[in-house]
Amino acid sequence: MTRVDFYVLDSGGAAARNTLACRLVEKAWLRGHQIYMHAPSPADAKQLDDLLWTFRAGSFVPHRLQENANETPCPVHIGTGEAKVSATDVLINLAADVPPFFSRFERVIEVVAPDAPVRDAARERYRYYRDRGYALESHNISGKS
């Protein structure tokens, strides 16, 4: 059964949330996982694509936008719809809703910023997963780390 982890920032906004998502992607990739970042819009997907190149000096995370996917394997895909890759290790959800395809993944990571609309949507997703019996973990993250 899919494991769901909520990473809840205590400060910062969308930029801090996206940076945390990139840190989590890098950590998962270094552990050998295949990752799909689910963005709320094509503009957000492009922003995450750009940020993965610059979020930390000296970091390199091989990735591509799902719309640019080809036959060459890549460990990290970023998109707005259902993941078109066969590997289903880690889903990082940055959208407001639970992706209908989440159960394909071994692990779902929800990254939550402290602003009210994002936190309220995260609470709804938490209830959704909980009410269906998924294993849930919460991690409080300092925005200063």
Q: Which domains does the chain have, with CATH numbers?
A: 3-141 (3.40.50.10110)
pTM of the model: 0.93
Let me know how many helices (H) and strands (E) the chain has, helices first. 3, 7
Q: In angstroms, how far is the first alpha carbon of the chain from the final one?
A: 31
Q: Which DSSP category does 36 fall into?
A: E
Residue 107: strand, helix, or coil? strand
144 — pLDDT class (breaks 50, 70, 90): low
Residues 61 and 22: beta-carbon distance below 8 Å: yes
Task: Give the pLDDT confidence of 100-123 residue by residue, as tens digits.
Answer: 999 999 999 999 999 999 999 999
